[in-house]
Structure 1
Amino acid sequence: MATAGASSAGNLARKDQTLLLFARLMEGGQEDEDTVKGLDELTKLLNDDLEAVQKGEESICEVIDADCVDTILCYLDMRQPDIVRSHATLTTSAYLKASGEDGSKKLQDFFHHRINRGTYDDYIVAFCVAAVMFPIVPDLTSQLFLSEGFLSSLGPLMRRKWKSRKVETACLEMLNAACLNPACREAVQKYCTEWLEEIIDQDPEEVVKAMYAANPDVSLNQGSISMRRHSEQVQNLAAVVLAKLKAVQPPPSPNSEAEPRIQPATTSIEDLTKLFTKMLLKESDHGKQNSVEGLAYASLQPKIKEDLSKNGEFLKQLVKTLEDAPPVSPLTYGALSIFANLTRYRPAQTEEQKRISELKAYANVAGRLEPDPLDDDEQVSERCKRVFEAGITPALVTHSKNGSTASLSLAVSIIYSLSVTKSIRGKLAQQGAVRLLIGAWSALPETESQARRTAAQALARILIATNPSLVFGGSRPYPQSSAIRPLVSIIPTDPAADTRDLLPTFEALMALTNLASTDDDTRNLIIRTAWSDVEEQLLSSNARVSRAAVELICNLVQSTDAVALYADFTNPKTKNRLHILLALADAEDEGTRSAAGGALATLTGYDGVIRGILNRERGIDVLLGLCSDDNEDLRHRGAFVIYNMVAAEGETGKTARATIRAAKGVEILTECAKKSNRPEVVEITVQALKALLEEA
């Protein structure tokens, strides 16, 4: 009973606390800090309510009536300070989670009641609430937005003779948020495009001149309801909405019915882009967010990408905008989105995928839709060079330190695209891209697996083309070892991918090979973290991947840790490992034979490896085959391996010399010396022959 009483008292206390908070919030006239504090306390109560209800307590939502909900939602009004609006958004989200269907019903009632009252003040609040609610409860907000008669009523409201900047701004903010939903976007396209065009096309100065001509005594206050013209801010926001509508429109089919010769004048995506570019180049904060948001959508179009990338002044201003933007902000995300669009390559397709795409195109339209040539790899590469020359890399490095997960993923994708161009990989490393990518791979949560793989692959590309001592040496705050785990993570193919892409595997192996050329500490770390994955790739069906894996082995066996994996000829795993290396020394691919020969040249300095080769059928034949190769580099490696074996001491050397003589080693080495021109090849071959003939 005592427990039940305590629970009841606690439940009552929570409800009383809730009512007290609402009473304070309803009073108004508080300092912003006090309002924010009250909203935060209410948010905590609502978040804790979910857990309390699961324990059998009554929900505090039972005491939250329509007036309380009205209080919270009115704090989402655009006329409230930004800090109050942001905290009210969290409170509203917490309430909708805690209240379930009842909360959704109260939100619907609030929206319809405000719209039906139809005053300017009611419109502003309703539109602001809808704009904020779209990302929080998209299904419910879309239902309200698409309710019968709502969108069609906006045209007459926006075309009223007397304008209210705040009503228009709130309405357009709502449409802007609604365009993220496909069904809502289609409805906006249907009902709102015409008056959006009218807003953008209206020349404010001409309207004012006409009004003064008609009535010289008229008094105009910009932004008040006495204005007959749309403000510049409203025009800019309308342009953003229209850009979202036009940017995602599908291209017309080649055999579509001919359109009427006379078409009403419309604002093209090119016109909107010029408007946004002009706004950004003004170098003022006013309109900057609108211009960046509009360009983030406009730059999805290949023609727009090409035009923007060729505007050097615009690129430099966009870089500056990114540099000056707060780390976590819509402005930062928008600027990064533009750069990502400018640099994005068309996804690679297998032959099978290309055939399927063609079949879909034939099924959808009477004729094949060719990919836009402006998105061909050559065009994208040129755009990437222009973006790089504009100085994007340092700005990305700065923002990567404190950015959101979404912004960090975009920064990674931009560096990934830039790294495709081999000529700028070294400069990317100099400007901090390696540090960015290593930091991003570590900072991104494991749920962002694709972004992490993208970061690792971009890192691999840069490290393939650069000297590790220049990237990690000197006073660099990050060690060379920090690059190994990201690279190792992409050796296995992506388990989530529909097709098997071996390019990341190949590039990771190449980058690790470069790192393994430096010191034993690096080699040993690669062996500990990646050996099994590397060994698996030795037998890849792709010749380039197999060659890259054996080239890495060739560098790794410079470490005694790797030698130990081959030297115990009595161990079945070791015997199999050596058998694979000998098979690769006899592979069809010349580069693979060379790398395997290089690894054996190091390994045959150890007695156990020589005995393992002697115990392997055709082992000697493979090595003598290298000595007979037409490529002098391969003959050099083969002769070096044979010399190591015949120069070995004790019983192992004696057995090796006898076995090689029996396999016509003298004749093969003699011929090798005759057709070789380089002194070092001739010298090692002659030394091997001497060792063979001395005992004969």
Structure 2
Amino acid sequence: MAVIDQVDSAKPIVPSLINNSRNPLPDELSYLITSFVPTNDRGKRSKAYLVLASYCQGVRVSMGQAQDGRQDVGTQALSRSFYPVIQAHITESQEAGVLAGFSFLTALFQVDWQVAADIFQQEAVLASISDILDLYPSDIVSREIARLLSQACGHNACRATLTTEVTQWLEAAVRQKKDVSLQSAAAVAITKLSRGAGTDALVESAQRPTYDTDRDLVELMKGILSGESQESFVDAVECLAYLSIEPSVKEDLSKDSAFLKKLFSFIPTRRRTSTTSADIPINSLTYGILNVIHNLSVYRPPLSPEQEQVMKLRRMTKSGTTGSRDSDDNHLDTLEDEQHVRERGRNLVQYGAINVLIAAIRVADSQGIMLIASQIFLNLGVDKENRGKILQSGGARALAEIIRKSFSAAETSQEQPEVDASVLQPIQAFAKLAITSSPTQVFGPDPGAIYDAIRPFSTLLTHSASSPLQRFEAMMALTNISSHSTESADRVAKANGLVAKIEFLMLEDHVLIRRAATELTCNLMAGSDVVFKRYSDSNSAKSRLHVLAALSDVDDLPTRLAASGALASLTSSPIACRLLYELECDHHRLIPILTTLIDKPLPGSESVESPTRTPLMLLKEETELKDLTTALIVVVKDNTENVEILRPAAEALKCLMDLGVVVPGV
């Protein structure tokens, strides 16, 4: 097929196709449609995918976003261009033409599924598939039809058009033992169809596949991966990626160390080479393997009351007796609880999943692979026991590299006011590591690496798409960084929009978020002149001090400690002391709050310095200090061996005595 050689000169053809997007030349379409047959070299097929993607994108750009009925005009235009050519090929009497037509439609599903789905649903295409199946097609055509069906079954509109005869043919293809490639491709289609049939109202129960159990398919795919038919590996892994959504399958796979080690061996690492041949598309295989790992490690998201009600209604509609149904549901719920997910994650780490993630990021320069690898790091990092192992294996460096590439890509685009929300997950995974370990352990001895982490953590905190949990973890990570050095704290404080966001979150109703914001403020107060001046020498300093005073009186102990610690730092400023005095005169609440902090320290409050530099000379004239002096005496008596507390308490009492305040018992 000499026409395939034209792929090497794809660049001149792409502009021609795009320029003729409304009425592409027949020879150009003929060139494309014959480029995806499985007998062609994989490199040339890869180039053909690029040409097809460029053409489809060019048509859609030229058409814009206009709608005509239920379809956009781009989909309509592309369907009109491709459908006649595809139909002409799949209705040929020669096998080569039929194979070219089906392989092109399969490729189109991967490039522009809306167009492919529209063509697949055409009556002539469906009829051709049925006719060919009735004629007992050759092995190579059967495999291509199975691959086409595996693509189509991923979309509900296509699933709704499948007949009972087609599903029965797929089941037979899975059961046969002669052709492993056909078996694996049909298994993917069966799996997608069975998963979708439960939610597609248009799919009749008679059309649903009746293959025995998920366990049978899992064992079949394991066998394929252990065999020598490497061209079936991608299909087998894709099938397992769909099957591993089920809790029982997750549990079984996570305990199968031999399977996991075999699965992980397909991705090359520094210690070994991949067990797959060069003809296997490594990106597709890697992405499928990471999907399996992700399914095994993902935690069930918390359900809202409305979602819980929907789940109950779904259970009520399932067939079977009430007793058995409830028992099965309870078992599945148990397999998805935190304990089981945590155990599955530990198994993955034990069998080498972290090294697989790092290798995948290194060998496959794909945005999709980097994103799912980040999600897995995030899943595994939920368990604190795994975080040290992630750090030891170089997980922090891998996440830093993903984040760096994401920011670099965002900087080249002027259209978005902020980085894409997809970068938040790798940053959150990075933040989890920075929360529980020292900055040196996470970022290394180079302070530059610590400074570089400030921007992504600041982005995680201030991004419009950040969740409350992401904001909380961002603040915890920044708190850890700001405690490393005054330079680190100062750089955190100067991050664009960060301090204003923190001050807003200090008023948050959620206790943990409010606490994290207050603790970060306390650290910045001690380490950054920028923040210190903001609270002691600005037009809004008084209102900010008022907030700190109020937070020193909340029920949550860590928040009280952080807020009062920030106030203690600020008492070294005469201006801040004057403003605190004004607050006391305005509201008469500051001295009672400070007295309570001294008089009734809660466990752990010993670490907060006593605010000894309040303007007592002014307060003496207008405030009753009896309770304060009594509280200080108690502190002195109870801490005779604790110099850090005894010294400032004694100094405060001496100041009171020098001012003429009567101190009981002295």
Output the amino acid matched with 1:330: S
Are 1:487 and 1:508, in contact at CA under 8 Å, matched by a contact in 2?
yes
CA RMSD of the aligned region, Å? 3.4
- Aligned partner of 2:88 in structure 1 is 113
Q: Give the distance between the partners of 1:188 and 1:199, measured in 2 at CA.
A: 16
Structure 2 residue 570 is matched with structure 1 residue 603: yes
Which residue of the other structure, out of 438, 441, 446, is the alignment partner of 2:400?
Answer: 438
Q: 1:361 Cα shift? A: 6.1
Q: 1:145 aligns with which of 114, 120, 124?
A: 120
Measured at CA, do residues 375 and 190 of structure 1 come closer, stay the same or move farther in structure 2, by a change above 3 Å? farther
The structure-2 alpha-carbon separation of the partners of 1:659 and 1:553, relative to structure 1 and needing over 3 Å to count, comes to farther
Shift of 1:441: 2.9
Residue equivalent to 1:131: 106
Q: Distance in 1 between matches of 2:81 and 2:593?
A: 82
The unaligned stretches of length 5 or more in structure 2 are 63-73, 269-273, 411-415, 661-666
> Could you say which residue in structure 2 is the equivalent of 1:488?
458
Q: Is the 8 A contact 2:177 2:183 kept in 1?
A: no
State the TM-score, normalizing by the size of structure 2: 0.82
2:48 matched to which residue of 1? 88
How do 1:192-207 residues align onto structure 2 when only pairs under 5 Å count? 192-204=166-178
Name the counterpart of 2:530: 561
Amino acid of the residue matched to residue 336 of structure 1? L
- Residues 657 and 683 (structure 1 numbering): CA distance in 2 closer, same or farther, change over 3 Å? farther
Matches within 5 A, 1:336-355: 336-355=290-309
Alignment check: 8 A CA contact 1:464 1:514 kept: yes
CA shift for structure 1 position 687: 3.0
> Are the equivalent residues in 1 in contact too, given 2:180–2:229 (CA < 8 A)?
no
Any conservation in 2 of the 1:585–1:622 contact (CA below 8 Å)?
yes
Q: How does 1:611-630 map to 2 (within 5 A)?
A: 611-617=578-584, 618-630=589-601
* Partner Cα distance (1:265, 1:141) in 2: 27
CA contact (8 A) 1:200 1:236 kept: yes
Counterpart of 1:438 in structure 2: which amino acid?
Answer: A
Contact 2:17 2:28 in 1 (8 A): no
Q: 1:423 pairs with 380, 385, 393, which one?
A: 385
Task: Report SS of the residue matched to 2:123.
Answer: coil
Letter matched to residue 631 of structure 2: I
Shift of 1:121: 2.1
Q: Counterparts of 1:463-478 in structure 2 under 5 Å? A: 463-474=434-445
User: Hey, what's the Cα distance between the residues in 1 that align with 2:281 and 2:361?
Assistant: 8
- Alpha-carbon distance in 2 for matches of 1:619, 1:410: 51
Q: Find the partner of 1:399 among 350, 360, 367.
A: 360
Separation in 1 of the partners of 2:253 and 2:470? 31
Shift of 1:286: 4.1
Displacement of 1:658: 6.0
**Residue identity matched to 1:667:** T
Q: How does 1:164-563 map to 2 (within 5 A)?
A: 164-188=138-162, 190-204=164-178, 231-250=179-198, 266-282=211-227, 285-323=230-268, 324=274, 329-355=283-309, 357-358=311-312, 372-401=333-362, 402-444=364-406, 449-474=420-445, 479-492=449-462, 495=464, 501-529=467-495, 530-559=498-527, 560-563=529-532
Q: Does 1:73 align with 2:47?
A: no
Distance in 2, matches of 1:580 and 1:128, equals 67
How many equivalent pairs are there?
607
CA distance in 2, matches of 1:655, 1:636: 28
SS in 2 for 1:372: helix
Q: Which amino acid is 1:242 matched to?
A: I
1:668 aligns with 2:631: yes
Shift of 1:61: 6.9
Larger radius of gyration: 1
1: distance between equivalents of 2:635 and 2:490?
36
Q: Measure, in 1, the Cα distance between the counterparts of 2:300 and 2:21.
A: 52
| Cα distance in 1 for residues equivalent to 2:578 and 2:368 | 56
| Paired amino acid for 2:119 | L
CA–CA separation in structure 2 for the residues paired with 1:67 and 1:685: 92
SS at match of 1:588: coil
Give the SS at the match of 2:230.
coil
Question: Relative to structure 1, is the Cα distance of residues 548 and 93 closer, same or farther in structure 2, using a 3 angstrom cutoff?
Answer: closer
**1:250–1:379 CA distance, 2 compared to 1 (3 A):** farther
Instruction: Measure how far apart 1:653 and its partner are.
Output: 5.9
CA distance in 2, matches of 1:293, 1:384: 21
**TM-score, structure 1 as length reference:** 0.79
Amino acid at match of 1:489: T
Are 2:190 and 2:209, in contact at CA under 8 Å, matched by a contact in 1? no
Deviation readout 1:16-45 (Å, 9 max, x if unpaired): xxxxxxxxxxxx647x7x622433211133
- Return closer, same or farther for 1:411/1:337 CA change in 2, 3 Å cut-off: same
User: What SS does structure 2 have at the residue aligned with 1:322?
Assistant: coil
Partner of 2:271: none
1:121 maps to a residue whose letter is: A
Q: Aligned pair in 2 of structure 1 residues 488, 354: CA closer, same or farther (>3 Å)?
A: farther
CA distance in 1, matches of 2:578, 2:603: 27
Structure 2: distance between partners of 1:430 and 1:202? 46
Cα distance in structure 1, aligned partners of 2:223 and 2:210:
22
Contact residue 624 and residue 665 of structure 1 kept, 8 A: yes
Deviations for 1:83-112, whole angstroms, at most 9, x for unmatched residues? 322333343455565597676445322222
